[in-house]
């Protein structure tokens, strides 16, 4: 008999109107990194929430170390040695790393919490697994990557033997992903088992031993990673062939749509994040902004769209000065915006999908007459976009909160592209999307370009930047330090540029 | 699995049942007969047309303050200032009702409008301070409650009358009372309940059918996304407070133009506004739910007056009400218990 730490047999989990898991079986061997792969909404997070005791399955059996168990809340999961790092972190901002980690299982000295001991234990644990976490730092002061390591430490501190990671790399920069992979290897060496959810096939190929694929709530099977390749994985998961690099014809840029001159923008701490930046985008081209997170990309987009004040400079859209216009006027003058943070900006999570579809247009004559909304028209539009953009949801009346991450993103993208803006700003548009959806989104961006629209793409994924853009602007320290042709560059060169080194090739700077 | 809408119904109902049961136990412990006690409560309302009418008059302002609080909650605000808004609405309606001569079709609407405007203005102040300066509405509203209490006392004593504790009666042209209803019941049953029911519809339409309601709810749920969608967040906060205050102001008019027909000085708050919080909570912040919960509260408060005939102190009802609120507020405990039951069944 095989030596499985975790066995989930024939699991079924229903939500109102949908079967999220239908007869799924997942068996994890001791000491392996096991990938869980599936389209957006396939039911991966649901399955893991069942394992972690957040949801109760309608049917099925769970075994830990061969023994059948009933996991009816996360405390039970912890006791059984199962830990989970959720896609959205659950840390308390104002607490220190150590405080967050020991929360709920604090070491005591009499009645008092023994904070010294807590810090010592956390630091020891961190050093042992090479997590490089400062136990006394405040959560609000550390990077996203570090916060994730704190989450991992939290599970280890509670004695996790099996660590579930739900799309850990979606929020990380390429450098942070490399560090995470090293950590995962260390964990396995120490005898832990890992379940890793990711949409990035490259990562599965690189670190995972086996991979279980689910499609539309159903288990498709488990494969040895060494005996497969990205293409097979993708077609297993989607049920059809997937093209990784998107075909497109050469761009035919026309008149300038967006023109930015000398733009300076401060963040909320009054530090200059965008520094006297110039950038032009023309009709019929996709300009990709490459850069390491935190070099002013967010502030740049917020300034263009009117969400953030500009301290100097001028922004022109189709020869119209939009520098000091309010958000709605800018939106109406022809700007579409797929925001980076979909939960914060892109959606009202407690609104239905239908209501979210008209978030930018609810006040227009089509939907509102004399102040009264026509829900028939709103929902007709919603149904149409749900279909066109393949948003997997029980209905347009479902709350946006109940959608899987990727499907929330598809709803936003549909909403923004459907308004047919002259300038489409897409910030991390494919973060958390499955390969099929990524292919689809890339096609739509290129389609917009071919219809003579200007597209500004901001992404930390170099693949995406290289594949989709017609021109790449490298952003470093608040400035565009180089503009390169994607056909004449590669990841290495971009990486160097993003780190701030100057371009050597003569003439490439246009 | 229970859906969340089902829970919205089940939790208040269970809470009421539990509250009444707890009341019965308390009566038992202190040596009273709960059956007789609750019988007296029931009879206190339904035995005579007079008390039934009194109950309706009690329910009417509860509906309106319940709406005020519920509307604010639904748009992400806590209008604890309904109390003060009731007071200023009350006095404004009486002022217009006593100071002006006009036919009913003008006088009564004008007096109602004055009450609504006064309540709205009183809520506007915490609204604008929150929108412009980020001061929390709860702090400012609480202060505004005290200002309202003392201001209305001053107006009654020193401006509207010559050092008297009560104003004169509002003119018949501004009164909500109606000879036919008075003849029928011998009570002061007035037409305010029509106003209240109409406002229930108003709230529902605003929240569920209008562009304005869409914006107000969006701002209440997520200010960042609302800002991204080009909504004016500050303006919407102010509008929310103003509409909420308008409902509360009208509750004051129900007293000023209906139940009492006058305004009098108060040494303490009327509690209509504070009770509105409980009404809204029990009604699930739904305008139709508010009708039901306001009715329950009105019934309990009026019926309680009769409990002493069974030898039971009527304070027991205050305890029952407090317990009901406690149970509603801890709804998640009930939800949890229900789920455990459900699970037990499955095995
Ligand atoms: N709490 C919930 N209530 C109702 N439906 C839900 C809930 N959680 C998930 N669902 C539905 O169950 C299905 C599976 O969702 P799940 O979050 O497990 O997908 P996923 O595979 O993690 O997708 P993604 O890659 O986009 O994160 C989706 O159709 C989703 O809409
Ligand atoms: Mg998920």
**Listed residue (B54, B304, B34, B316) closest to B187, CA to CA:** B54
Cα-based angle A378, A383, A386 (whole degrees, multiple of 5):
120
E strand or H helix at B201 = helix B192-209
The CA distance from B339 to B326, in Å, is 20
Chain A with chain B: Cβ pairs closer than 8 A: 65
Residues 6+ apart with CB under 8 A from B319: B22, B23, B26
Q: Do A326 and B217 touch (CB under 8 A)?
A: no
Q: CB atoms < 10 A from the CB of A427, how many?
A: 24
**What pLDDT, on the 0 to 100 scale, is given for residue A332?**
95
- β-strands A423-427, A335-338 pairing: parallel
Q: Which two tokens mark B288? A: 């139709």
Pick B6 or A352 by higher pLDDT.
A352
A42 lines ligand 1 (CB under 6 A): yes
Candidate from A108-117, A379-388, B43-52, B60-69 with smallest mean pLDDT? A108-117
The helix or strand, by DSSP H or E, that contains position A310, with its residue range, turns out to be strand A310-317
Cα→Cα distances B104→B112, B171, B260, Å: 12, 10, 18
* Dihedral angle sign, alpha carbons of residues A484, A487, A492, A495: positive
For ligand 1, mutation pick of A35, A38, A41 (most atoms within 8 Å of CB): A41
Distance (Å) from the alpha carbon of A149 to chain B's nearest alpha carbon:
28
Best of B7, B208, B210, B228 to substitute, by most chain A Cβ atoms within 10 angstroms, is: B228
The contact set of B with A (CB < 8 A) is 1, 3, 209-212, 214-215, 217-218, 221-222, 224-231, 343
Does A178 contact B at CB distance below 8 Å?
A: no
**A394-452 pLDDT, tens digit each:** 999 999 999 988 899 999 999 999 999 999 999 999 988 888 889 889 999 999 999 99
| Residue A113: half-sphere exposure toward Cβ, Cα within 13 Å | 11
Which of B34, B2, B10 is closest to B312 using CA atoms?
B34
How far, in Å, is the centroid of ligand 1 from the Cα of A381?
23
Which of A348, A373, A415 to mutate to test binding with chain B, by most B CBs within 10 Å of its CB? A348
Nearest C-alpha in A relative to B75: A350
Q: What is the set of domains in chain A, with CATH numbers?
A: 4-238 (3.40.50.300), 256-334+421-498 (3.40.50.300)
User: Phi-psi region for residue B270, left (φ > 0), alpha (ψ -120 to 50) or beta?
Assistant: alpha
Q: What are the pLDDT digits (tens) for A157-202? A: 988 999 999 999 887 877 888 889 999 999 999 899 999 999 999 9
A56/B343 Cβ within 8 A: yes
Q: What is the pLDDT along chain B (347 residues), one digit of tens a residue?
A: 344 556 677 888 888 999 999 999 999 999 999 999 999 999 999 988 889 999 999 999 999 999 999 999 999 999 999 999 999 999 999 999 999 999 999 999 999 999 999 999 999 999 999 999 999 999 999 999 999 999 999 999 999 988 899 999 999 999 998 888 777 777 788 999 999 999 999 999 999 999 999 999 999 999 999 999 999 999 999 999 999 999 999 999 999 999 999 999 988 888 999 999 999 999 989 999 999 999 999 999 999 999 888 888 888 898 998 999 888 888 766 766 766 665 554 43
Burial of B173 (0-12, 13-18, 19+ CB in 10 A): middle
CA torsion through residues A95, A98, A103, A109, sign? negative
Residue A276, SS3? strand
pLDDT tens track for A320-330: 999 999 999 99
The alpha-carbon gap from B261 to the nearest alpha carbon of chain A, in Å, equals 36
Q: Give A294's pLDDT tier (boundaries 50, 70, 90).
A: confident
Kindly state if the Cβ of A436 falls inside 6 Å of ligand 1.
Answer: no
Per the confidence metrics, is the pTM higher than 0.95? Answer: no
What pLDDT is attached to residue A95? 87
Tokens linked to A509: 């700077």
The predicted pLDDT at position B10 comes to 83
Among partner residues B217, B225, B343, which is closest to A347 by beta-carbon distance? Answer: B225
Report how far ligand 1's centroid is from the alpha carbon of A493 (Å).
39
Q: Which atom of ligand 1 is nearest to the CA of A214?
A: 21
Measure A45 CA to ligand 2 centroid, in angstroms: 4
Contact B209 A372 (CB under 8 A): yes
Partners of A331 on chain B (C-beta within 8 Å) are 230
A208-256 pLDDT per residue, tens: 999 999 999 999 999 999 999 988 898 898 887 777 667 788 888 889 9
**In Å, how far is A332's CA from the nearest CA of chain B?**
10
**For the packed helices B233-253 and B82-99, what is the interaxial angle rounded to 10 degrees?**
60
Instruction: Spell out the long-range contacts of B165-169 with Cβ–Cβ below 8 A and sequence spacing 24 or more.
Output: B165/B264, B165/B265, B166/B262, B166/B263, B166/B264, B166/B265, B167/B94, B167/B98, B167/B262, B167/B263, B167/B264, B168/B98, B168/B262, B169/B98, B169/B261, B169/B262
Comparison of pLDDT for A273 and A503, the residue scoring more = A273
- Ligand 1 centroid–CA A392 distance in Å is 9
Q: Decide: helix, strand or coil at residue A306.
A: coil
Q: How many angstroms away from the CA of B114 is the closest CA of chain A?
A: 25
Residue A507 has pLDDT above 50, yes or no: no
Cα diameter, chain A: 74
Give the pLDDT confidence of A440-493 residue by residue, as tens digits: 899 999 999 999 999 999 998 888 999 999 999 999 999 999 999 999 998 888
* Residue in A closest to B218 by C-alpha: A348
Q: Is A405 in the pocket of ligand 1 (CB under 6 A)?
A: yes
CB–CB contact A355 B214 (8 Å): yes
Specify the pairing of strand A286-290 against strand A471-476: parallel
CB of A49 closer than 6 angstroms to any ligand 1 atom? no
Q: How far is the CA of A38 from the CAs of A139, A221, A236, A391, B31, in angstroms?
A: 32, 11, 9, 15, 66
Instruction: Please work out whether the CB of residue A409 comes within 6 Å of at least one atom of ligand 1.
Output: no
How far does the centroid of ligand 2 lie from the alpha carbon of residue A166, in Å? 7
Q: What are phi and psi of A334, to 5 degrees?
A: 120, 35
A45 lines ligand 1 (CB under 6 A): yes
Residues of A in contact with B227 (CB under 8 A): 307, 327
Q: Is the CB of A403 under 6 A from ligand 1?
A: yes
């Amino acid at each position: 008999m095989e030596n499985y730490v975790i066995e989930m047999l024939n699991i079924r989990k229903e939500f109102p109107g949908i079967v999220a898991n239908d007869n799924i079986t997942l068996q994890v061997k001791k000491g392996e990194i096991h990938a869980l792969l599936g389209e957006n909404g396939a039911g991966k997070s649901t399955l893991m929430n069942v394992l972690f005791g957040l949801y109760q399955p309608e049917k099925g059996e769970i075994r830990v170390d061969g023994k059948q168990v009933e996991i009816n809340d996360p405390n039970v999961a912890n006791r059984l040695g199962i830990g989970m790092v959720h896609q959205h972190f659950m840390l308390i901002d104002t607490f220190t790393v150590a405080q967050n980690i020991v929360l709920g299982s604090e070491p005591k000295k009499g009645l008092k919490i023994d904070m010294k001991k807590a810090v010592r234990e956390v630091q020891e644990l961190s050093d042992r697994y090479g997590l490089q976490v400062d136990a006394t730092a405040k959560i609000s002061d550390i990077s996203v990557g570090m916060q994730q390591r704190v989450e991992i430490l939290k599970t280890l501190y509670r004695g996790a033997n099996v660590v579930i990671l739900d799309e850990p790399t979606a929020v990380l920069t390429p450098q942070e992903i490399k560090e995470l992979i090293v950590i995962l290897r260390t964990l396995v060496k120490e005898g832990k088992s890992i379940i890793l959810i990711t949409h990035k096939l490259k990562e599965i190929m690189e670190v995972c031993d086996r991979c279980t694929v689910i499609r539309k709530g159903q288990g498709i099977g488990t494969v040895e990673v060494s005996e497969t390749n990205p293409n097979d994985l993708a077609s297993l998961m989607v049920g059809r062939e997937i093209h990784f690099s998107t075909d497109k014809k050469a761009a035919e840029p026309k008149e300038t749509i967006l023109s930015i001159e000398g733009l300076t923008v401060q963040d909320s701490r009054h530090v200059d994040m965008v520094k006297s930046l110039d950038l032009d985008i023309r009709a019929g081209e996709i300009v990709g902004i490459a850069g390491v997170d935190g070099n002013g990309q967010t502030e740049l987009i917020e300034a263009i769209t009117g969400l953030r004040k500009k301290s100097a400079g001028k922004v022109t859209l189709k020869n119209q000065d939009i520098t000091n216009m309010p958000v709605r006027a800018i939106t109406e003058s022809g700007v579409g915006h797929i925001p980076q943070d979909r939960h914060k900006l892109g959606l009202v999570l407690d609104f239905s999908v239908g209501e979210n579809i008209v978030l930018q247009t609810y006040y227009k004559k089509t939907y509102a007459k004399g102040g009264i909304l026509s829900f028939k028209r709103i929902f007709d539009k919603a149904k149409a976009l749900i279909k066109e953009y393949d948003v997997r949801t029980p209905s347009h009346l479902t709350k946006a909160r109940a959608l899987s991450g990727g499907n929330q993103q598809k709803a936003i993208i549909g909403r923004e592209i459907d308004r047919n803006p002259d300038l489409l700003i897409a910030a991390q548009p494919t973060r958390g999307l499955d390969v099929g959806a990524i292919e689809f989104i890339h096609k739509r961006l290129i389609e917009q370009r071919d219809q003579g629209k200007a597209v500004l793409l901001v992404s930390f994924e170099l693949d995406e930047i290289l594949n989709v853009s017609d021109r790449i602007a490298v952003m470093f320290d608040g400035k565009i330090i180089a503009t390169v042709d994607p056909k004449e560059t590669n990841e290495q060169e971009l990486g160097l540029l993003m780190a701030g080194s100057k371009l050597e090739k003569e003439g490439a700077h246009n | 699995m229970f859906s969340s809408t089902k829970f919205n119904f089940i939790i208040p109902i269970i809470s009421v049942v539990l509250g009444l049961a707890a009341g019965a136990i308390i009566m038992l412990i202190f040596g009273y007969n709960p059956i007789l006690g609750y019988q007296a409560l029931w009879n206190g309302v339904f035995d005579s047309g007079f008390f039934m009418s009194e109950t309706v008059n009690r329910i009417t302002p509860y509906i309106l303050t319940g709406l005020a609080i519920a509307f604010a909650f639904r748009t992400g605000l806590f209008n604890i200032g309904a109390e003060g808004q009731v007071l200023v609405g009350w006095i404004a309606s009486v002022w217009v009702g006593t100071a002006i001569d006009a036919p009913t079709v003008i006088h009564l609407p004008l007096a109602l409008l004055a009450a609504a405007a006064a309540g709205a203005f009183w809520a506007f102040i915490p609204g604008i301070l929150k929108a412009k300066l980020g001061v929390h509405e709860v702090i400012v509203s609480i202060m505004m409650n005290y200002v309202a209490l003392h201001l209305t006392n001053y107006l009654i004593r020193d401006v509207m009358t010559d050092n008297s504790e009560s104003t004169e009666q509002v003119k018949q042209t501004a009164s909500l009372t109606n000879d036919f209803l008075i003849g029928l019941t011998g009570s002061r049953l007035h037409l305010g309940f029509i106003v209240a029911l109409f406002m229930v519809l108003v709230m529902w339409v605003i929240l569920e059918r209008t562009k304005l309601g869409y914006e107000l709810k969006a701002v209440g749920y997520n200010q960042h996304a609302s800002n991204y969608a080009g909504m004016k967040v500050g303006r919407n906060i102010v509008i929310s407070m103003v509409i909420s205050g308008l409902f509360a102001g009208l509750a004051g008019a129900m007293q000023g133009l209906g139940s009492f027909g006058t305004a009098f000085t108060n040494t303490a708050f009327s509690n209509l506004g504070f009770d509105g919080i409980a009404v809204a909570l029990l009604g699930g912040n739904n305008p139709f739910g508010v009708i039901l919960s306001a009715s329950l509260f009105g019934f309990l408060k009026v019926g309680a007056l009769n409990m002493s005939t069974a030898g039971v102190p009527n304070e027991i009802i205050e305890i029952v009400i407090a317990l009901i609120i406690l149970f509603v507020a801890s709804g998640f405990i009930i939800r949890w218990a229900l789920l455990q039951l459900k699970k037990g069944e499955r095995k």
